[in-house]
Amino acid sequence: MKIPPLHRILETLLLCVLAFAFLWRGGKGIEATWLLAAIGSLLVVATLWNERRMTDGKDVPPELWSAVVLFLLWTIISYVLSLTQNYGLDEVLRDGTLFLLFLWIMRRNATNGASTFAERLIQLLVILTIVGCVIGVFVYVLQPVTRFVGTFFYFRFATDYWPNAWAEMLLMTWPLVYRWSQIAKTPRSRIARDLVLGFVIGCLLLTFSRGGFLVFAIQCVLLAALQWISVGKKFEVKSTLRSFMLVAVLALVTFLSCNAVRGQFHEVESVARKATFTADEGTSSLTERWGFFKQSLTLTAMRPLFGWGPYSFRFVQPRLEESVLATSDHPHNVFLKLAMERGIVAALCLLFIILYALRSAWKSAWRTKPIIIAVIVSVVGVLIHNLIDYNLQFVGIVLPFMLLLGVLAYPSLCPVPLTMRRVMRWTEGVIACAILIVVILEGRTLVLSSLGRHAEAGKNTQVALSWYAQAEGELYSRDLELSRVSLL
């Protein structure tokens, strides 16, 4: 039996990491980040080695590649100069791997069989969305939290339920489910797939995410506009309205029936109270966000060049806290978070990369490729939602987002001189190898300290101290020293 090339095996493993992150806590746990860093960096190295003898062809535009590398180098420098170095290494590894995969999938789309991976990615996202919604129905009906969370929860703590993150995930995947419903081969199959789409949108409604509803409305307008531009007079109004009514009815049925069943066990969130900001949280979601925005700008002004360090907002922001317990891990805006934590240059680099990818997709032949329209709507939806609620710390969200962004940026590939191409490949190879080395070396102490935390939770003090002693010297200490002091 012929053994597949290593990089093909690693591609499958990357999709497995995505499935794991999606189904287990949304990939918010540190284990998902380190699996992503290990598999992703190894995939990049294997692919670069497999293509080491390239002589001609297209490559990533130098300006886009430079923005990616500058973002990564700026992030590394920010971490080195960070005021909270015991936290943040996971963000450095995660973002380093993701941006390398962004460049990887752009080139992957330029080679034979590349579309196969993109198709596998989109098919997997559609399947995971449906499975996640089915699981989420049981979770919504049986658990006390009043909002739909899909698979983005951790049963250990009542606070570890993330409805806004799940809403963002559905904002990214429902356009892909919509496209999947459009390619049905028979009218009966089309109706069945429209029913699935209605179920997914119903689950989005059950999140009671006001920001999610706003972004969803924007996505619907954008999708309609792009489709109208792409097909023009061939736009089928009757069939579209028929599908729309079917989807809307099932979405409403899903919303009402799930709430009716849940009402037998737990309280059901009031739509009116949520819409009028008279629910338990009142207007705090707005006032706190506005406060976080202002505080992040104040902190950015204090350290505009390299920021306070990755994942530092939660530790630095309390000094500016304006009301009791008004704290957060992030300022609820991706660009404000980057500007405050890593410096204004890092935020501008990310903005440039996203706009470049969207511009590439817009200038390409997207009008003849309906799947690209769906991907544009997905990416734009995630981007807008992250302007009011940051959720890119979830590997289950940020990994497919970056891969889809790379698919949009693919048309920008252009002829690049051989010398420049070699510099680009060698630079990426060095960064990927550095990530892999850190994962291997730091992964050992990460496991040891994790064993110590489990022993500490089990009140086994001596065993915990023993594990913590073996984990000494780790770069990513988190709260290890605080735990040791507490035990001693």
| Three-state SS at 199 | helix
State how far the Cα of 114 lies from the Cα of 409, in Å rounded to an integer: 14
Burial class (CB in 10 A: 0-12, 13-18, 19+), 282: exposed
**pLDDT attached to residue 369:** 81
Q: What is the rounded CA–CA span in Å between residue 209 and residue 204?
A: 8
Residue ranges of the chain with per-residue pLDDT less than 70: 1-3, 52-56, 110-115, 157-158, 232-237, 272-285, 323-326, 365-368
Distance CA 199, CA 432 (A): 40
| pLDDT (0 to 100) of residue 449 | 82
Q: 265 phi and psi, to 5 degrees?
A: -120, -40
Residue 401, SS3 per DSSP: helix
DSSP 402-441: HHHHHHHHGGG-EE--HHHHHHHHHHHHHHHHHHHHHHHH
Residue 52 in tokens: 């080491």
pLDDT number for residue 98: 97
| Interatomic CA distance for residues 47 and 6, integer angstroms | 9
pTM recorded for the entire structure: 0.93
Strands (E), 43-144: 58-59
Predicted local distance difference test score (pLDDT) of residue 158 = 63
Distance CA 400, CA 403 (A): 5
d(C-alpha 463, C-alpha 399), whole Å: 37
Q: What does the chain come to in residues?
A: 488
Helix axis angle, 395-409 to 89-108, nearest 10°: 30
By three-state DSSP, how is residue 63 classified?
helix
- Token match 């989109």: residue? 122
Give pLDDT, residue 348. Answer: 97
Buried b (16+ CB within 10 A) or exposed e, 46-65: bbbeeeeeeeeeebbbeebb
pLDDT at 324: 59
**Among the listed residues 210, 208, 138, 218, the one whose alpha carbon sits nearest the alpha carbon of residue 174:** 218
